[in-house]
Structure 1
Amino acid sequence: LMNRIIAKYSDVFQRATTAEEVRQAFSVKRIASLFGVEDGQAIESSFSMLRLFYQLGVRYMTLTHNCNIPWADQNNVDGVNSTLIENNGLTEFGKKIIIEMNRLGMLVDLSHVSKQTMIDVLNITQSTVIFSHSSAYSLCNHIRNVQDDVLELIVSI
């Protein structure tokens, strides 16, 4: 579907899988279209599925959405629903997923994940992370936003 939309509106959109392709799209006044996966549940705890998504052009993955997944906790565990904690951040398998994402060149999107999941990722990643649709908690007190102490960890990457 996305490829068809990009082809139909090629004067507006341009598919991008690398930073250079994003810059190139910008230089010709097109919108760089990056493919991503919202919710790591989509890979079904499978390295093969992660690699398949990468082969299909996916370059970032949001680890969780509104539910915990077998290897990472989502942000609702940080609030009044703290009884929902299942993994206390990333499991050992989850850490291996992050390492594989780094190896592939796939960005880790930390929107929707719990604070501990954020910290766990930031402690092991060797690559840039993104918060594709989060804000600073100190600016907007919402459970999905990122606390300052977590944002400060990004400086060390």
Structure 2
Amino acid sequence: MNVFEYVFQSIGGAPLRLQNWTGQPLLLVNTASESEFAPQYAQLQRIYDDYRESGLVIIGLPCDDFGHREPGSEEDIAKLTWEEYRVRFPLTRKISVMGYAAHPLFHALRETYGDDVTPRWNFYKYLFDRRGELIECWPSKVTPNDPLLTHQVERNLNSWVF
């Protein structure tokens, strides 16, 4: 599977083709505004600010699959993430990451890498390299500023092209 083959809808409704970032690393995160992990939005924004000039792209994937923690509309999500966390990285429309209704990317991840990469809650993080291959994924409790995650980002900076 190659992450650059997938398309989402931006929170504003326009197509969000991941191929637009071919050659750049992608950090995809299934988010939820009312999750206990929602403060990670601010940490994700700081990581985005720190590494976007080096090519890192972060995309938030709002999801209501776990505990009904993303009940609002796309407008509600955009407003809350801006007002509470000043999020400027791209967000998609709400998607599902579990079961039959899951976005095709999550079906492909599960088929390619097995159940170990299946999100178990909100704020699972997936880092893909410039070729679109999964480098690593982290569960909700691993924060965006955790050295486990930032080390992988920094370790691969030299291998990414823009």
TM-score by length of 2: 0.29
Larger radius of gyration: 1
- If asked which structure has higher relative contact order (CA below 8 Å, sep 6+), I would say 2
TM-score by length of 1: 0.30
